[in-house]
């Protein structure tokens, strides 16, 4: 998702209560930021934040961090937050490749990736957020009982992601190629903005859930 650049969006973000600057020293300090020791769940590539904000509203006992690369997109999320403030959510404008500078080892209990950019060219495979290179980064910040959840309507990206999970040290817990017709996996599902758009077109939604084996922690 890339919106027209909004002049001043970086400045608005820098001054916003819900936004943490990429340069801030947050690693290992998220408990202080939130002022409690609730588990931390993150969404990488949150877009305008519909999904993570719905989760935060539904689960006040969990702290959420939404990560988005582009300030113009993130700004839309912040505008929604002004209308309905939630104290268990923060946003960071950053590239996921720097995720280990934001979170300490085991600091995160769940990672959500929703409708990540597919990067269809083979030579760009490393940029896919489910590539083995990114899985290695997530492995560092995710706790031993943590989960990675990924949804997409893009079959090519989904097949690639299944392969990357199987080829790495992750354990594939469950997957479906038709989430909305899978009673178990769809229970409690919150639709993202892209999920609503693509399922309205008739595209089946794929989902996988993966975890880490004890011996990699």
Contacts to ligand SAM by CB under 6 A: 1, 44-47, 67-70, 73, 95-96, 114-117, 192-195
Phi, psi dihedrals of residue 182, rounded to the nearest 5°: -110, 105
Comparison of 67 and 165: residue with beta carbon closer to ligand SAM: 67
- Which of residues 36 and 152 has its CB atom nearest to ligand SAM in the complex? 152
Whole-number CA gyration radius for the chain: 17
Closest approach, Cβ 215 to ligand SAM, in A, equals 28
**Whole-angstrom distance, CA of residue 139 vs CA of residue 106:** 9
Minimum CB separation from ligand SAM for residue 173, in Å? 21
122 is a catalytic site residue = no
Report in angstroms how near the CB of residue 5 gets to ligand SAM at its nearest: 13
* Cβ distance to ligand SAM smaller for residue 88 or 114: 114
| Calpha distance 192→149 (Å, rounded) | 13
Closest residue (Cβ) to ligand SAM? 45
Beta strands in the chain (DSSP E): 19-20, 40-44, 63-68, 89-93, 108-114, 142-152, 171-176, 206-211
On whether the CB atoms of residues 92 and 128 are closer than 8 A, the answer is no
Given the residues 104, 117, 178, 214, the one annotated as active site: 117
**Residues annotated catalytic, as ranges:** 117
């Amino acid at each position: 998702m890339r919106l027209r650049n909004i002049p001043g969006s970086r400045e608005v973000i820098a001054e916003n209560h819900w936004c943490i600057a990429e340069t801030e020293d947050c690693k290992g300090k998220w408990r202080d930021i939130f002022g409690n020791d609730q588990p931390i769940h993150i969404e990488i590539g949150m877009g305008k934040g519909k999904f993570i904000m719905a989760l935060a509203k539904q689960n006040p006992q969990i702290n959420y961090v939404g990560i988005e690369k582009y300030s113009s997109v993130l700004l839309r999320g912040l505008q929604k937050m002004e209308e309905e403030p939630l104290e268990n959510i923060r946003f960071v404008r950053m590239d996921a490749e720097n995720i280990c500078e934001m979170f300490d080892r085991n600091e995160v209990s769940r990672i959500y990736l929703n409708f990540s950019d597919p990067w269809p060219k083979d030579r760009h495979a490393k940029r896919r957020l489910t590539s083995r290179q990114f899985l290695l980064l997530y492995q560092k910040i995710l706790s031993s009982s943590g989960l990675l959840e990924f949804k997409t309507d893009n079959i090519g990206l989904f097949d690639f992601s299944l392969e990357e999970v199987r080829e790495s040290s992750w354990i594939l817990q469950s997957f479906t190629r038709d989430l909305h017709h899978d009673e178990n996996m769809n229970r409690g599902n919150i639709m993202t903005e892209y999920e609503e758009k693509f399922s309205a077109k008739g595209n089946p939604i794929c989902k996988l859930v993966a975890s880490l084996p004890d011996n990699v922690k």
